[in-house]
Copies of this chain bind each other. A is one copy, B any other.
């Protein structure tokens, strides 16, 4: 405990500091931490399903470094406007994608001296799910675009460590899909069971059995049947459902078994 550099900070320095043999070392390190706080940003992995494929929202960087390169949307936390990291993520979601309140969850924080050529940065990454129908991109279409995700990557390089971050987000989405309901956030409010199953299949990249899937979903009692409503296609129309409670989290008793782990 002799080398603690804990939450003691600026305003109290000099007031309650005891004369201590380690004081010089303490102050040296303290000064360093004060004057070289890492830059702190919040980035978003915004995912949706369209055209039978998982897509991620990317923006083209207008400035160096990685100028012209595609990157995850995000940016500096504004301590004046953002009451919390969560609030910052919600703000950026609105500003970048013009979306009301889809699923938003903190993924992980990435920070190192070399992830940004300009020096030490930390970014807290959130991942968001939304229905492709509810997306209206604001601003210049050339700056932001939905990009198809194949496997756990897009087909080209991303700025910074964003490729790694995207891969982590996709893996998290996959593993959560195995035992939770969250795929409903990738669909519009009203949807059919075959549509929901197709969404799971697209993300898990594996066909699912119709009967097992229906049993699983219906036993979880998470859907509300919309009486009389049906959606037609080329075959028999399918019953429309609505997700019952967007706040409740439903866990399935077993994971969907995946052949290749």
Give chain A's interface residues, CB within 8 Å of chain B. 1-12, 16-17, 29-30, 32-33, 36-41, 59, 61-65, 67, 71, 73-80, 82-85, 87, 95-96, 106, 108-114, 116, 118-122, 124, 138-140, 143-144, 160, 253-255, 257
Contacts and interface: CB of A to CB of B under 8 A. Distances in A.
Contacts of A116: 7
A226 to B, nearest CB: 28
B84 A33 contact: no
A38 B36 contact: no
B41 A40 contact: no
Contacts of A78: 5, 29, 32-33
Contacts of A8: 62-64
Contacts of A59: 1, 4, 6
A139 B12 CA distance: 24
A96 B29 CA distance: 16
A85 B40 contact: no
